[in-house]
Amino acid sequence: MNITLPDGSIRKMENGSTGLDLANDIGPGLAKAAIAVSVNNIQRDLSDPINEDSEVSIITIDSDEGLEIMRHTLTAQVLARAVKNLYPNTKLAIGPTIKDGFYYDFEFVKPIAPDDLDKIEKEMQKIVNSKSSITKKLQTKKEALKAFNSAGESYKESIIEESEQEEDFQLYYQDDDAFVDLCRGPHLPSLKHIGAFKLTKLAGAYWKGDSKNKMLTRIYGTAWKNEKDLNAYLHSIEEAEKRDHRKIGKEMNLFHFQEEAPGMVFWHPNGWTVYRLLQDFMRDKLQAFDYQEINTPLVVDRKLWEASGHWDKYRENMFITEIDEEHANEKRTNALKPMNCPCHVQVYNQGLKSYRDLPVRYAEFGSCHRYEASGTMHGLMRVRGFTQDDGHIFCTEEQIETETKLFIELLSSTYKDLGFEKFDIKLSTRPETRVGSDEVWDKAESALESAIKKLDLPYEIEEGDGAFYGPKLDFVLTDAIGREWQCGTFQADFNLPDRLDAEYVGEDGQKHRPVMIHRAVLGSFERFIGVLIENYSGKLPFWLAPVQVAVATIISDVNDYASDVINQLENHGIRCHEDFRNEKISYKVREHSAAKVPVIMALGKREKESQTVSIRRIGSDKTTSMSLEDAVKALTVENSVPN
């Protein structure tokens, strides 16, 4: 048979040759490094036979694929075995890989604690040091059920029983056959290929994610090719924890959450200042790009949600309300809006539109509510109540390319002004289940892609990940420590205008459906403020800081001068906090630094006499002295909002 390698070369191999045979044929070095094989883009074990002409590549631990396979083996063959060695009566559930690591769900007889992770980790290392080989056996459904029934592994039995297949269940054994697990594979051929790893945390998880099922214990871990990569990752996690917006938000007195309103933000004065400044900044941006700001109801009758299709597809995530109508013998069912788009169509539909009116660009800082499971909520990053910098553009098909270009210009300008120099673009194309003709999809996808190319921006194509109503662009920004955040989106919709009877009169005098473009730059204000806090580690740009200057007195005799300083700063739009407390200046500086105030002015007798101020910037131990007049001028310039 012919085996085509990634470089295009072809090797003749006997039918039934394995990936390991191919690696040996290419060279002993590759055979030693090989851990799996890709056959026609499907990952397989090195021991699997290849029975037909195929495109084949050898996978090593140095590749992303290899790293994932190593993590998969680590969770299914090492973590699972270590737990069974230490806690023999534990039942195994599932153990997949995730971004940067893995987890495994277990049913323990007695709960374990975070302190037990160290013991499990040591047992894992002991297993890895054995360098056991791993072999795969294919078994029938009956044989696989028997193997796990005798071991008392009821979760594995359940997985097998629910499978429609009758043959080729993959059971992986270590060389002494002392441990076996059911797995989709592939796995490493030997534990000698395991790199560096660490268990990170415990969590609860329902079997199959269903709250009606038993709560299991989930053990998380991370694994890397070597200790250097592991330590770099752990350092990045430590840095991320230092930047946790929930911790910094408390230090800066920005917001809080409480049980009486789960997933809803209580904004404090400082936090609301940031929110309002960001909203005003976005409002100016939108006006510069000819958006008309509107506002639509928070509570809307179910009839509109039924017409838009959201009632069938999204009802479980909607907050529903019922009221008794005063003059009717029936209840009216309403929903808090989870999104703004159907309401924006209602505004568009008021009055007949001509092709000369298009494009129509509506913007709304729309308050939305979506039900999120309690276990998924995470500070500002995932909430139940939020406000989007939402916008919808009604245009002709021919205008899609121009609108795409304008939106990317708006988004690029906004992200740059907020300190994000880098973002990636992902173009998601038609999914299998979709509305609209292939001709319309061709036109929409081509328009989005053409606009990106003309702006000379790099992008990735995500095949089949578009919305059912149209293709979309997702914009993923990178923060100060390299993390990615998907915030902006631009989606072409050919479905909703039809469902909600949006029309315009074309140049031919006939009525046509406009294209509806759903777009957001920041996404939700709540989430984006969380991203900003973590990106800047709370040290927000001067114009965005809730308190910009803390004026702290060294002695009470200068309180009058400090008041004059504050008045002059506030008259120039600078947000100040006065600190006239009878405390040491070192204490005041530490406190305001912890609250991330950008500028601290320390005023004593010398400053009063010379009409100067001593300025210390956050993150610096240096103090700069300048005249009050010069300080006011400099800070006024610094306070300019980007545009």
Tell me the per-residue pLDDT of 124-170, one tens digit each, with 9 for 90 and over. 999 999 999 999 999 999 999 998 988 889 999 999 998 888 888 99
Number of domains composing the chain: 4
Is residue 315 a part of any domain in this protein? Answer: no
Q: Give 570's pLDDT tier (boundaries 50, 70, 90).
A: very high
Q: What is the pLDDT of residues 51-70, one digit of tens each?
A: 999 999 999 999 999 999 99
Given this model, what pLDDT does residue 329 score? 66
What are the C-alpha distances in Å from 155 to residues 8, 148, 419? 44, 9, 49
The verdict on 75 and 55 lying in the same domain is: no
The predicted-structure confidence for 610-639, as pLDDT tens digits, reads as follows 999 999 999 888 999 999 999 999 999 999
In percent, how much of the chain has pLDDT > 70? 99
The answer to whether residue 421 is domain-embedded is yes
Residue 516 burial (C-beta neighbours within 10 Å; 0-12, 13-18, 19+)? buried
- Between strands 49-50 and 54-60, the pairing is unpaired
Q: Is the alpha carbon torsion for 435, 441, 447, 450 positive or negative?
A: positive
Q: Coil, strand or helix: which one is 173? A: strand
Say yes or no: 56 and 161 in one domain.
no
8 A C-beta contact, residue 2 and residue 55: no
Host domain of residue 147: 70-241
Report the predicted TM-score, pTM, of the whole model to 2 decimal places: 0.82
Q: What is the pLDDT of residues 234-255, one digit of tens each?
A: 999 999 899 999 999 999 999 9
Nearest-CA neighbor of 407 among 337, 491, 493, 533? 491
Say yes or no to pLDDT of 436 above 80: no
Whether residue 207 is contained in a domain is answered as yes
In a domain, 322, yes or no: no
- 52 shares its domain with 75: no
Handedness of CA 532, 536, 541, 542 (dihedral sign): positive
Closest listed residue to residue 410, CA positions, set 288, 516, 294: 288
Give the closest residue to 378 by CA, choosing from 217, 537, 265: 265
The token pair at 582 is 């009878």
What pLDDT is attached to residue 331?
Answer: 79
pLDDT band at 468, cuts 50/70/90?
A: confident
Residue 576 in any domain: the answer is yes
> 521 Cβ partners below 8 Å, 6+ apart?
282, 285, 389, 410, 411, 414, 415, 487, 488
State the pLDDT at residue 418. 96
Structure tokens at 315: 């009802």
Pairwise CA distance, residues 524 & 382, whole Å = 10
Considering the domain architecture, whether residues 162 and 25 belong to the same structural domain is answered as: no
Between 313 and 267, name the one with better pLDDT: 267
177 and 209 in a single domain? The answer is yes
**pLDDT confidence of residue 177:** 75
Same domain, residue pair 74 and 54: no
pLDDT in tens, 383-398: 999 999 999 999 998 9
pLDDT of residue 434: 78
Residue 304 lies in a domain: no
Q: Above 90 in pLDDT, residue 426?
A: yes
Question: DSSP alpha helices (H): ranges in 455-604?
Answer: 496-499, 525-535, 559-571, 585-594
Whether the predicted pLDDT of 643 surpasses 80: no
* Residue where one domain finishes, among candidates 37, 60, 83: 60
| Cα–Cα distance measured from residue 160 to residue 182, given in angstroms and rounded to the nearest whole number | 9
Quote the percentage of the chain above a pLDDT of 90.
75
Residues 56 and 78 in one domain: no
**pLDDT tens by residue, 578-598:** 999 999 999 999 999 999 999
Same domain for 223 and 97? yes
Last residue of a domain, one of 34, 60, 86: 60
Of 446, 499, 506, give the one whose Cα is nearest residue 471. 446
Please report the pLDDT score of residue 511 as a whole number: 96
Q: What is the mean pLDDT of residues 368-384?
A: 91
Residue 327 has pLDDT above 70, yes or no: no
Cβ partners under 8 Å of residue 76, min gap 6: 95, 104, 172, 181, 183, 187
Query: Cα–chain-centroid distance for residue 526?
Result: 14
Residues 6+ apart with CB under 8 A from 629: none
d(CA 444, CA 86): 57
Q: What is the pLDDT of residue 590?
A: 94
Q: What is the pLDDT of residue 469?
A: 79
Cis bond leading into 189, ω under 30°? no
CA nearest 170: which of 155, 151, 156? 156
* 492 within a domain of the structure (yes/no): yes
205-218 pLDDT, tens digit each: 999 888 889 999 99
Answer yes or no: do 349 and 439 share one domain: yes
Same domain? For 21 and 86 the reply is no
d(CA 241, CA 257): 19
Please tell me whether residues 284 and 389 are part of one structural domain: yes
pLDDT of residue 542: 97
CATH number at residue 114: 3.30.980.10
The CATH number that applies at residue 403 is: 3.30.930.10
Mean pLDDT of 517-537: 96
8 A C-beta contact, residue 145 and residue 182: no
Over residues 70-88, the mean pLDDT reads: 93
Residues 109, 115, 118, 119, CA torsion sign: negative
Residue 175 lies in a domain: yes
Q: Is the pLDDT of residue 178 over 80?
A: no
**Which residues form the catalytic set?**
341, 370, 388, 390, 392, 472, 518
